[in-house]
Structure 1
Amino acid sequence: MENKVQLITYVDRIGATNIAGLNKLIENELKDLFGGVHILPFFDPIDGEDAGFDPINHKLVDPRIGNWDDVLKLSKSVDVMADLIVNHMSSDSMEFQDYLEKGDKSEYASLFLTYDKVFPNGATDEQLINIYRPRPGFPFNKMKFKDGSEKLIWTTFTPKQVDIDVSAAKGVSYLEDILNIYEAAGINMIRLDAAGYAIKKAGTSCFMIPETFDFIADLTQKAHDKGIAVLVEIHSFYKTQIEIAKKVDLVYDFALPVLVLDTLYNKNADNLVNWLKVAPKNVVTVLDTHDGIGIVDVASENGVPGLIPDDTLDEIVKNMHRKSEGRSLKATGAAASNLDLYQVNCTYFEALGKDEDAYLLARAIQFFVPGIPQVYYVGLFGDDNDMELLARTNVGRDINRHYYTKEEVLAKTETSLFKGLAELMKIRNTANAFNGELQIDKASGSLTLKWEKNQDWISLNADLESAKFQIEGVNNGATILFNN
């Protein structure tokens, strides 16, 4: 995988109607901006209850947007990352419907995780309370079978997403089949979606337990055998992230988005710099994704301080809501149908009060900290919250999941904000120094990040008071200079 900026996008929400159209966009309007693309779930169907993260058929590209040959063609242009949804599939899947019809006689019965598999003798109150939950309530739902019997099925996220027993032979072969398809389609990186919840064991939190690491290690080795790198997606306390990073290829730096907001809101880089001193280097960096802006990643846990003091973090969250003029409040917490209580749903541009200087500085910081930077498609255009889509669906995260027409994309690429961001991305993609060593310097109201490799160097000098910055350097003897 190249050390270049990557795009995160849905196929059908960025002015393209199919994978071939996305390929054309990357080769033309977005030429030279991306070394890779993370295509958010493109499986059948792309428009389920969780925007593709509840696949009915994980092994089939939604026919409305293309096929595996189209994915292979895209992989000839850029690195391609795809999600491997290891924890669950849709309750409408053929496999689960067969299970509901035939019960234990179904050939797929062992594929699904039931309450009694984990708690054959029942669970105590303490055991149930100790289960780590990303969303309110218990992780089971009562399902009725054709013969009238009922069972509790493990549903970590929603009733439409039934959990897979990844330890069973059927679960193992299910995931291996998908890896084989990915290899043939030229996919060279996978994102393990919700991997932290994949292993359930009585008497534990059922989240990132030792057996989970064993599962991830085993799956990672199978991916490596096919030339596929693995990115693990986990929101958690920062010390947990540090430990996870030691055992996997890549993790997200989910702490960065809030630390950059803290830096720009409070005009002080102390918390950001303290994190960079201990942060893993095998990371993919983001400011925004298809999910909300994570809070748990910088917060305290069980009395242990986080990366940002809790009172400061509370003010940052309030400031996000103020900067967005309250629009983010309508999509966050218990509002809308949002169940991710540890995230704020808001575009990053609105979280910065639509301040273009601050937004470009935020991206510059992202591009200069260690890691492979990803830019979400809405963030690529520095756009507003989509209140119309939120009102239509009442799904909190849809506030940051706009459907762009091709005309909108063409108009966005003509804005000064896009052109400034595009220039930053090209610098990040071409400067050799980013493969070297980083030096960090901060003073009151300022931050300097400088990379050096042999004779090449590049430096970001930021004035946090004004959100103005300068990039200067030398690359293959040529001068680099950028100002916002």
Structure 2
Amino acid sequence: MNNASEHLHQRVIHHLSTIYDGIVEPDDMESLAQAAIDTMRVNDVETSPEAFINHWDEQDVILITYGDSLISDAKKPLQELHGFMQEHCKGYINGVHVLPFFPYSSDDGFAVIDYSSVNESLGDWCDIEALSSDYRVMADLVINHCSSRSAWFQNFIKCDGPGHDFFYTASPDDDLSQVVRPRTSPLLRETETLKGTQHVWCTFSHDQVDLDFRNTKVLLTFISIIRQYLDSGVNLFRLDAVAFLWKEVGSTSINLPKTHEVIRLLRCLIEHAQPDAVVITETNIPNQQNLSYFGNANEAHCIYNFSLPPLLLNTLVTGNCRYLKQWLMSMPPARNGTAYFNFIASHDGIGLRPAEGLLNDEEINQLVNTMSSFGGCVSWRNAENGQRKPYEINIALYDALQGTVNGPDRWGEDRFMCAHAIMFALEGIPGLYIHSLLATGNDYEKLENTQHNRSINRHRWQIEDLTSQLARSHTQHAKVLARMKHLLALRIKQKAFHPNATQFTLQLGGQLFGIWRQSLDREQSVFSVSNVSDQEQVLNLADINLIDLQSWVDLISNSTIDVSAGTMILAPYQTVWITNR
């Protein structure tokens, strides 16, 4: 065994000893570590991964989409997605997060029946591999739970076969009062098995039965799943709902230390198998808890910037960036080897837990009421004190930004583009939801059919209808797509927009939101300034310290900045990216 292999072996033993202390006998740790290494096929690594290496740059933009967001009678949905990206995204977007593409029973893919198969209605593994030949592919590792219709759970009911001992059970008499979860349904599912009644832990729904990582076979099974995904071209791993992975009766069962240790172990194995692979944690929780998933640059490479969507939405509907600035100034820069994953819309709603402590109750209620007036829905959770609190807002972002707290107005499209111009400029890797790229509105028909609030923002486009809409330049879909591609074409060429480039928040008042970015080589600066209000605003150029001896240009409008004028006027929701090239 060479030095790198020996070092990996010792690291794996350390992680496993921390996770399974008191569960696995110390004498068995060696064989368990070897089983994990064998399963990931990293027996003969020659070098250890370098620490603090950025596996991304300013050209990284990820499209977020379901595998069947685009459908037709002519091709499988994954093939339609690939064709759409080749036609409309190539040269602008270099990665794609295909939301769960496995056989499932509910929650639009997040109740996985079989982790090893592609849902045949979408395509097959060859389609995933084809996507990966042109784009970086992110896949969900739905690691906290699986479907109650899975073979594993059916074997649990039969008390025999693979998976029969994979599930976390508790007693209704246990003290579960501290458990934190994002749903109001009962935590325990009563299930009749051949060995009697069992009460299965269900963090999310009774069709999503929680896995028990105290069983080492569960861990080894997921290591095997990761290996299969790597072999199929996946190199970005989104650990879904991972904050809830480890449960302990009498605790909150969220963010527990052993959850963090499992992530460290998986990262260690993944980066030894493929050094440029990236682990992203999906932890829709308050901001400071979310930041903890960076660990000491040894857990997630990237964390979802969950506080950004509600704070940016609040900024643009109130016309004041106070809370957005306060939050941004409190955020630590991501050290090399880690990055924020920025998004402002996704398949889920706009989470409100990440706004707790950042927006007060009055601000949150105003935001909820405004979104409700724009046709949105609200999902609720039970708080620790038994009080019902809003958990997330369900609405298409294009409709969410149709107006302000005063109601709809004529600035909807500009406000929508302003939101994306801000996101594209921020420190981190941008994730762009396909329905934002296409300016898709609320899908009330799907909402009515499913009776699930999240369906409002999960439209399926018939490719013929979409093609027709995009062929007419005056439609909102064509206009937004063209404007989005213009911004992206600029963004990916600016070294100052590297995900780890320096960022400072500018103090320009409540109606102008500004940041300064400087490239890692310090050769380029970009001042991103956005008017977040529905009135013209005056930008004093002295406030952003433009040096008159240099030539400055606004990238977005491709116009030269006359520094000697002292000021410039920003139209409602206009963004400027001022740079010295």
The aligned counterpart of 2:95 is: 36
Paired with 2:369 and 2:489, the residues of 1 have a C-alpha distance of 34
Structure 2 gaps of 5+ residues are: 1-54, 382-387, 404-411, 540-545, 558-573, 575-581
The aligned counterpart of 2:490 is: 427
Paired with 2:288 and 2:482, the residues of 1 have a C-alpha distance of 37
Amino acid at match of 2:252: S
The aligned counterpart of 2:56 is: 2
439, 442, 447: which one pairs with 2:513? Answer: 447
The aligned counterpart of 2:308 is: 256
- The answer to whether 1:129 aligns with 2:177 is yes
Paired with 1:214 and 1:188, the residues of 2 have a C-alpha distance of 21
Q: Residues 149 and 468 from structure 1, CA distance in 2 versus in 1: closer, same or farther, beyond 3 angstroms?
A: farther
- The answer to whether 1:349 aligns with 2:417 is no
User: How big is the shift at 1:165?
Assistant: 1.2
Amino acid at match of 1:211: K
- The answer to whether 1:176 aligns with 2:223 is yes
Paired with 1:395 and 1:149, the residues of 2 have a C-alpha distance of 33
518, 525, 528: which one pairs with 1:460? Answer: 528
Amino acid at match of 1:449: I
Paired with 2:286 and 2:504, the residues of 1 have a C-alpha distance of 26
Paired with 1:244 and 1:372, the residues of 2 have a C-alpha distance of 17
Q: Displaced runs of 4+ in structure 1, greater than 6 A?
A: 467-470
> What SS does the corresponding residue of 1:202 show, helix, strand or coil?
coil
The aligned counterpart of 1:236 is: 285
* Cα deviation digits, residues 440-465 of structure 1 (max 9, x gap): 32322212223222333333222222
Q: Residues 5 and 207 from structure 1, CA distance in 2 versus in 1: closer, same or farther, beyond 3 angstroms?
A: same
Q: Residues 468 and 260 from structure 1, CA distance in 2 versus in 1: closer, same or farther, beyond 3 angstroms?
A: farther
Paired with 1:375 and 1:114, the residues of 2 have a C-alpha distance of 38
User: How big is the shift at 1:341?
Assistant: 4.5
Q: Residues 139 and 178 from structure 1, CA distance in 2 versus in 1: closer, same or farther, beyond 3 angstroms?
A: same
The aligned counterpart of 2:17 is: none
Alignment of 1:270-419 (within 5 A): 270-280=322-332, 281=334, 282-299=339-356, 306-322=357-373, 324=374, 327-329=375-377, 332-333=379-380, 341-353=390-402, 355-413=412-470, 414=473, 415-419=478-482
* Cα deviation digits, residues 399-420 of structure 1 (max 9, x gap): 0000101123324444222211
Paired with 2:536 and 2:528, the residues of 1 have a C-alpha distance of 11
* Cα deviation digits, residues 156-204 of structure 1 (max 9, x gap): 1111111111231220121011111111011111100011111011221
Amino acid at match of 2:143: V
User: How big is the shift at 1:98?
Assistant: 2.1
> What SS does the corresponding residue of 2:234 show, helix, strand or coil?
coil
Structure 1 gaps of 5+ residues are: 300-305
> What SS does the corresponding residue of 1:129 show, helix, strand or coil?
coil
Q: Residues 59 and 135 from structure 1, CA distance in 2 versus in 1: closer, same or farther, beyond 3 angstroms?
A: same
Paired with 1:333 and 1:309, the residues of 2 have a C-alpha distance of 17
1:412–1:418: 8 Å Cα contact kept in structure 2?
A: no
2:151–2:163: 8 Å Cα contact kept in structure 1?
A: no
1:140–1:152: 8 Å Cα contact kept in structure 2?
A: yes
- The answer to whether 1:56 aligns with 2:113 is yes
* Cα deviation digits, residues 375-411 of structure 1 (max 9, x gap): 1111111221100110111111000000101123324
2:177–2:250: 8 Å Cα contact kept in structure 1?
A: no
User: How big is the shift at 1:57?
Assistant: 0.4
Q: Residues 293 and 425 from structure 1, CA distance in 2 versus in 1: closer, same or farther, beyond 3 angstroms?
A: same
> What SS does the corresponding residue of 1:231 show, helix, strand or coil?
strand
> What SS does the corresponding residue of 2:263 show, helix, strand or coil?
helix
Paired with 1:224 and 1:69, the residues of 2 have a C-alpha distance of 24
Q: Residues 467 and 28 from structure 1, CA distance in 2 versus in 1: closer, same or farther, beyond 3 angstroms?
A: farther
Q: Residues 350 and 467 from structure 1, CA distance in 2 versus in 1: closer, same or farther, beyond 3 angstroms?
A: farther
95, 108, 115: which one pairs with 2:163? Answer: 108
Paired with 2:302 and 2:214, the residues of 1 have a C-alpha distance of 23
User: How big is the shift at 1:479?
Assistant: 6.0
Paired with 2:161 and 2:523, the residues of 1 have a C-alpha distance of 65
Of stretches 77-86 and 405-414 in structure 1, the one that deviates more from structure 2 is 405-414
Aligned-residue sequence identity (percent) comes to: 27
The aligned counterpart of 1:144 is: 192
Paired with 1:417 and 1:467, the residues of 2 have a C-alpha distance of 22
Amino acid at match of 1:482: I
1:15–1:408: 8 Å Cα contact kept in structure 2?
A: no
1:33–1:426: 8 Å Cα contact kept in structure 2?
A: yes
Q: Residues 297 and 315 from structure 1, CA distance in 2 versus in 1: closer, same or farther, beyond 3 angstroms?
A: same
The aligned counterpart of 2:242 is: 195
2:246–2:259: 8 Å Cα contact kept in structure 1?
A: yes
> What SS does the corresponding residue of 1:23 show, helix, strand or coil?
helix
Amino acid at match of 2:147: S
User: How big is the shift at 1:478?
Assistant: 11
Of stretches 84-93 and 23-32 in structure 1, the one that deviates more from structure 2 is 23-32
Paired with 2:112 and 2:359, the residues of 1 have a C-alpha distance of 37
> What SS does the corresponding residue of 2:134 show, helix, strand or coil?
coil
Paired with 1:91 and 1:388, the residues of 2 have a C-alpha distance of 28
- The answer to whether 1:87 aligns with 2:87 is no
> What SS does the corresponding residue of 1:84 show, helix, strand or coil?
strand
User: How big is the shift at 1:107?
Assistant: 4.1
* Cα deviation digits, residues 181-231 of structure 1 (max 9, x gap): 111011111100011111011221011111211122112222222222111
Paired with 2:464 and 2:343, the residues of 1 have a C-alpha distance of 27
1:269–1:442: 8 Å Cα contact kept in structure 2?
A: no
Amino acid at match of 1:461: V
The aligned counterpart of 2:560 is: none
Amino acid at match of 1:33: Y
CA RMSD in angstroms, aligned pairs only: 2.5
Paired with 2:294 and 2:219, the residues of 1 have a C-alpha distance of 24
Paired with 1:70 and 1:158, the residues of 2 have a C-alpha distance of 30
User: How big is the shift at 1:15?
Assistant: 4.1
* Structure with greater Cα Rg: 2
> What SS does the corresponding residue of 1:134 show, helix, strand or coil?
coil
Q: Residues 468 and 168 from structure 1, CA distance in 2 versus in 1: closer, same or farther, beyond 3 angstroms?
A: farther
Amino acid at match of 1:129: S
Paired with 2:481 and 2:536, the residues of 1 have a C-alpha distance of 17
- Give the length in aligned residue pairs: 454
Paired with 2:95 and 2:465, the residues of 1 have a C-alpha distance of 23
Of stretches 373-382 and 273-282 in structure 1, the one that deviates more from structure 2 is 273-282
2:310–2:352: 8 Å Cα contact kept in structure 1?
A: yes
Paired with 2:552 and 2:319, the residues of 1 have a C-alpha distance of 32
Paired with 1:346 and 1:467, the residues of 2 have a C-alpha distance of 26
Alignment of 1:5-16 (within 5 A): 5-15=61-71
Q: Residues 292 and 83 from structure 1, CA distance in 2 versus in 1: closer, same or farther, beyond 3 angstroms?
A: same
* Cα deviation digits, residues 298-351 of structure 1 (max 9, x gap): 11xxxxxx11222122212212222x1xx213x6449xxxx9950010111111
Amino acid at match of 1:111: F
